């Protein structure tokens, strides 16, 4: 079957597909390698991590889309107060993260301190299976979410811990607004922002 890069809505039933796709996509991501330093168990742990945050957070309070080889989790302004881990989710993540759970908690708190207070769309996660990179999957998902933000007249914010991804986002109009290092000797994060654009024909 051909692999399609057309975005479709991702539902909780897609967790078994979305988890492994994002695990492969983030295998070389500096922040995820910091959270999951063991090469032998990283892919399995990442799959569980992404499946958990997808089903318990973003599929409930965000806008999630996927292609056959990529996935993206967006959070609109009204969902940002709800799209945080509840007590049960925190417990699940602690089991998955093991002795890195405290680092993860501190990193989440630190990143939250750099979140803009103005209404905005937040791109929480976007990733494509390395085997399908170059096929337009990530770009298709990014365009889809940006169109929603533009229609609402709102900026989009994200953080990236991978410097090689910055030109990709800059191509779509993002600029780096801040650079900061996560506590505990963590990696550098680049906070990026994109101003809304007037949709064609508006």
Which residue spans within 107-201 are E strands per DSSP?
A: 121-128, 156-160, 175-181, 188-194
Residue 137: enclosing H or E segment and its boundaries? helix 137-152
Q: What is the pLDDT of residue 88?
A: 87
Q: Please give the Cα distance from 82 to 42 (Å, whole number).
A: 28
Report yes or no on 169 lying in a domain.
no
Residue 188 lies in a domain: no
Q: Distance between CA 12 and CA 2 in Å, rounded? A: 23
Q: What is the DSSP letter of 84?
A: S
Residue 114 clears pLDDT 90, i.e. is over it: no
Q: Containing H/E element for 8?
A: strand 8-9
Q: How confident is the model at residue 98 (pLDDT cuts 50, 70, 90)?
A: very high
Say if 138 falls within a structural domain: yes
Helix (H, G, I), strand (E, B) or coil at 41: coil
For the stretch 153-201, pLDDT in tens is 999 999 999 999 999 999 999 999 999 999 989 999 999 999 999 866 6
pLDDT tens digits, one per residue of 6-47: 999 999 999 999 999 999 999 999 999 999 999 999 999 999
Is 170 a member of any domain? no
So what's the pLDDT on residue 17? 96
The number of folded domains in the chain is 1
In a domain, 200, yes or no: no
Q: What is the pLDDT of residue 198?
A: 82
Please report which helix (H) or strand (E) contains residue 66, including its range: strand 63-66
Inside any domain, residue 198? no
**Pair 124, 75: CB distance under 8 Å:** yes
CATH number at residue 149: 3.40.630.30
Q: Note whether residue 160 is domain-resident.
A: no
What percent of the chain has a predicted confidence (pLDDT) above 90? 80
Best CA proximity match to 74, nearest among 86, 59, 84, 89 = 59
C-alpha to C-alpha distances, 91 to 7, 33, 83, 183, nearest whole angstrom: 32, 21, 16, 22
Q: Which domain holds residue 64?
A: 8-154
126-154 confidence digits (pLDDT tens): 999 999 988 999 999 999 999 999 999 99
Residues 6+ apart with CB under 8 A from 10: 18, 54, 59, 64, 65, 66, 71
Does any domain span residue 2? no
């Amino acid at each position: 079957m051909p692999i399609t890069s057309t975005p479709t809505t991702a539902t909780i039933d897609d967790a078994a597909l979305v988890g492994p796709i994002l695990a492969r996509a983030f295998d070389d991501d500096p922040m995820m390698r910091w959270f999951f330093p063991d090469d032998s168990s990283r892919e399995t742990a990442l799959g569980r991590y992404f499946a958990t945050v997808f089903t318990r957070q973003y599929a409930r309070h965000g806008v999630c889309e996927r292609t056959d080889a990529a996935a993206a989790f967006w959070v609109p302004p009204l969902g940002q107060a709800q799209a945080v881990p509840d007590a049960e989710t925190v417990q699940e993540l602690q089991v998955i993260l093991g002795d890195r759970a405290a680092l993860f908690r501190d990193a989440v708190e630190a990143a939250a301190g750099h979140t803009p207070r103005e209404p905005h769309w937040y791109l929480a996660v976007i990733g494509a299976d390395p085997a399908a990179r170059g096929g337009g999957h990530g770009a298709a998902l990014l365009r889809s979410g940006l169109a929603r933000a533009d229609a609402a007249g709102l900026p989009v914010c994200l953080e990236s811990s991978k410097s090689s991804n910055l030109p990709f986002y800059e191509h779509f109009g993002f600029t780096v607004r801040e650079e900061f290092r996560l506590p505990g000797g963590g990696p550098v994060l680049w906070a990026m922002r994109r101003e809304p654009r007037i949709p064609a024909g508006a």
